[in-house]
Structure 1
Amino acid sequence: MLDSLTQRLTKVVKTIRGQARLTESNMQDMLREIRIALLEADVAIPVVKDLIARIKEKALGTEVQTSLTPGQALVGIVHDELTKVIGGEDPENVREINLATQPPAIILLAGLQGAGKTTTAGKLGKWLKEEKKKKVLTVSADVYRPAAIDQLQTVSQQANIDFFPSTPNEKPLDIARKALEYAKLHYYDVLIVDTAGRLAIDEQMMNEVSDLEKFLNPIETFFVVDAMVGQDAVNTAKAFGEKLPLTGVILTKVDGDSRGGAALSVRMVTGKPIKFMGVGEKLNGFQRFDPQAMAGRILGMGDIVSLVDEVRKNVDIEKAQKFAEKMRKGDDFTLEDFKDQLAQVKNMGSFSSLIEKLPAQFAQAAGQVDDEQAKKQLARTEAIIDSMTPHERRKPEIIKASRKRRIAAGAGTTVQEVNRLLKQFEQSREMMKMMKKGGMGKMMRAFRSLSGRFPGMGGMGGGF
């Protein structure tokens, strides 16, 4: 998000090195670059003006610590003010989801068509089940969009949560009434209600969602907004905020575009906290919103906390520990180990979204990663290893010409692909040996060489 701001700040920081104080003159270029980057990111003009004024007031005359350059000091101030704009002055508990009510706790999702409400219903339900250990039911009150009800049913099944059926010829209020009765009768902790959206705000839609809100009296009413819509998000947020007693905002498609101005605009316009954000298409691409981490990502500082959290959720820790113990003992790295490591990587989801959470010097590689190509390469690699015998996986040095032809035929690929895999495996084995010997610098150089050979992952090593 906001790649332009990251790049502009990096460039201007370099121009004010070696000065002892932040002054009007040495800040002028930086503030202009910030203003341009924010406007290019589709941040609302009132938000831009307020942010620039706050940064200027805070920074003018600030003494720079001896350990910092003026540029670094200003980035720190920008980070603090961005955090306040995105997260408000609210304490962290305001962004906590509210489930303190007689079950079922009702959550209403509102927003325009295409904002990602239905997918968000599944992601939120999955999050509540796994993180909060809640019994969740979803229902669709969208009787206008073709296949909206079927879509929510499919998403709910994928998220492993329950779905209450409805039909397009029913009235939204009747659907809500039946779903609520069913949820009470079957002791559900949470009922998530997906409402209808339109391509633009209209009176009928706003009245309908308002009637639903009054009838259901939800504990949480979330405004779901696409992070890519930029300036339009402000008008939409204002309309929904005036019609509904919103309790929070969910940003979707956060990783889908470099602009992302909605993150800076919606909080200020609605006055409500951003509580969650959706990243990517997979149902596990959903996380609590952290203003400080988001400000860090905007400024190219990365979001290591979210990255670690994603690793924790998607990687088999027990397997990883066994592998680490095996390497510590000096056991040989085999093609079976190689396949296990690839499976762990695949579980992590999108390569580019993971890299984006790293600091800027690493994250610049995200734009060079072709996720689809990388997935295909992983699938081909697994197919080749599966075509080998257990003995060949443990002793790849025995794989000569005739074996290579047999393996290639079994995997539906070429001998050249088999040779490429064996070469990549050998390089990985060398990396493991270097790690064991503590040769981190050598290992990084080897990784840079290896990553350049994976189609779709070119340049991955460029930041080291």
Structure 2
Amino acid sequence: MFNTLNEKLTAVFKGMRKQIRISEENIQDALKQVRIALLEADVNFKVVKRFIENVREKALGEAVLKSLTPDQVFIKIVHDELVNVLGGDDAAAKINLNSKPPTIIMMAGLQGAGKTTTSGKLARFFMKSGKSVLLVAADVYRPAAIDQLEILGRQIKADVYTDRSTKDVVKIASDALAYAKKTAKDLMIIDTAGRLHIDETLMDELVRTKDAVNPDEILFVADAMTGQDAVTVAKTFNDKLNATGIILTKMDGDARGGAALSIKEVTGKPLKFIAIGEKLEDFEQFYPDRMASRILGMGDIVSLVERAQDAIDPDEADDLASKIQKKGMDFEDMLKQFKMIKRMGSLESIMRLIPGLSAAGPMNVDDRQIKRIEAIIQSMTPHERKNAKILNSSRKKRIARGSGSSVNEINKLCTQLEQMNKMMKRMKQKLGSGKDLSKMNMKDIFKNM
């Protein structure tokens, strides 16, 4: 989402790197470029104005003007101000669970923003930490909305409360609350009907539902692809409902990112979660400092580790690492590693979390490359996957026909596997034959290299 903004800001910082010291003149030029980059990213013009004024004031401080590292100082100032614009204090973005369960969360938003799917993603998010969740189907207007929530509930193994005998949303929510208390649920997530526009009748229904169940959180679900329209609608909903937070969906799209950078400043409400893909696991809590680092190309190693912990089974990873260390890697191991990586998301989204890679420039990472390699490996027999050395000319031709690839591609893959095994063998020799790579931490490895 922030690709263009990241590229433009990176160019500004490169320009600052050429300066010996920060001065009023080079600050003015840099701020002009930052202003243009933010406006082109569809950030609210009032937010841009305040942002530039705050950065200018800090950048022209006496201590900064004496600095011998103008680019680093300027990046730090811009980073800190981005954190403030995005929400500042992380504590405001957290969901505070009610001391007397269930914690009630009411979802609101326009139709098409992905509210029902987001309800399922939010339920899964809490269920990962051992919470019991009740999803409430309170969208009685959109065809198949109740069916959709039931399907999501089955996928994440969450209880779903439905009542197809009535269209009284207030009654459904009230009855669901009684059921949640009876079944000792930790959370209750109410999926309300989406609006095609600011409909007074439906807004009144939301207000009455709010009064009936007294939710702990009212989360407005906004489509990041709609840009400043999302901010405007969020403000209108907030005026009516006094929302406690915002969830931005479709953050993996090609929108310019202005909604994410404007919504906290305009509405005064924190951005609590972001949806970064279509899958139920493509959902994460929003951290202003982490997002600021991503925008500036600094990566986000904490989110990368969290993603890996969520997607990769530790026992499976340990078994694979131990096997590779003892016998080397084969194509079967390579296939397993690809499956682990794919659970974490797209290659580009993973690489953007690695410090330094996103700052290096645009990434032309094609996930189809992994699919091609997978097709080649899956066209091998189990014996061939475990014994690459037996792949002769006739076997390679058969694999090429079965995978829709060429013999040359298979040769390259075999070479890559061989090089990887040689590299691991050299590393093991440097570290000492008695040491177990799978049980060493990264600090020990780098210290011995």
Both structures adopt the same fold (TM-score exceeding 0.5): yes
Q: Which residue of structure 2 lines up, in the alignment, with residue 399 of structure 1?
A: 391
- The correspondence for 1:381, drawn from 376, 385, 388, is 376
Report the Cα distance in structure 2 between the residues aligned to 1:149 and 1:112, rounded to whole angstroms.
17
Indicate how the Cα distance of structure 1 residues 375 and 207 shifts in structure 2: closer, same or farther if over 3 A, else same. farther
Aligned with residue 212 of structure 1, among 201, 209, 213? 209
**Equivalent AA in structure 2 for residue 287 of structure 1:** E
Matching residue of 1:337: 333
| Partner residue of 1:175 out of 161, 172, 177 | 172
Equivalent in the alignment of 1:358: 354
Partner in structure 2 of residue 137 of structure 1: 134
Amino acid at match of 1:209: L
Structure 2 residue identity aligned to 1:395: N
Match of 1:153 in 2: 150
Moved more, 111-120 or 8-17: 8-17
Query: CA RMSD of the aligned region, Å?
Result: 2.5
Say if 1:51 and 1:85, in contact at 8 Å, map to a contact too: yes
Kept in 1, the 8 Å contact 2:400–2:407? The answer is: yes
Q: Which amino acid aligns with 1:341?
A: Q
Identical aligned pairs, as a percentage?
Answer: 48
- Which residue of structure 2 aligns with residue 456 of structure 1? none
Count of matched residue pairs: 428
Shift of 1:362: 4.0
SS state of the match for residue 368, structure 1?
coil
Q: C-alpha distance in 2, partners of 1:363/1:374?
A: 23
Change (3 A) 1:340 1:417: farther
Residues of 2 paired with 1:350 and 1:366: CA distance? Answer: 15
Q: Partner of 2:273 in structure 1? A: 276
Alignment of 1:50-69 (within 5 A): 50-64=50-64, 69=69
How far is the alpha carbon of 1:366 from its aligned partner?
6.8
- Asked whether the 8 Å contact 1:237–1:269 carries over to 2, the reply is no
Match of 1:234 in 2: 231
* Equivalent residues of 1:22, 1:64 under 8 A apart: yes
User: What secondary structure does 2:345 align onto?
Assistant: coil
Distance in 2, Cα, partners of 1:15 & 1:406? 54
CA distance in 2, matches of 1:195, 1:205: 10
Q: Could you say which residue in structure 2 is the equivalent of 1:126?
A: 124
C-alpha spacing 1:140/1:62, structure 2 compared with 1 (3 Å): farther
Contact 2:376 2:399 survives alignment (8 Å):
no
Secondary structure at the aligned position of 1:250 is classed as: strand
Cα displacement (A) at 1:230: 1.6
Please state how far the C-alpha of 1:328 moved relative to its aligned partner.
3.7
Contact 1:125 1:192 in 2 (8 A): yes
Matches of 2:165 and 2:407 in 1, distance apart? Answer: 53
Please state whether the residue corresponding to 1:140 is helix, strand or coil: strand
Give the counterpart letter for 1:56 in structure 2: R
Q: 2:190 aligns with which of 190, 193, 212?
A: 193
Q: Distance in 1 between matches of 2:295 and 2:128?
A: 29
- Give 3-state SS (helix, strand or coil) of 1:249's partner: strand
CA pair 163-171 structure 1, distance change in 2 beyond 3 A? same
Alpha-carbon distance between aligned partners in 2 of 1:205 and 1:62, rounded to the nearest angstrom: 55
Q: What is the CA–CA distance in structure 1 between the aligned matches of 2:28 and 2:165, rounded to whole Å?
A: 57
Q: Conserved in 1, the CA contact under 8 Å of 2:251 and 2:274? A: yes
| Structure 1, unaligned runs of 5 or more | 440-464
Instruction: Rate the CA distance shift 1:438–1:149 in 2: closer, same or farther, 3 A.
Output: same
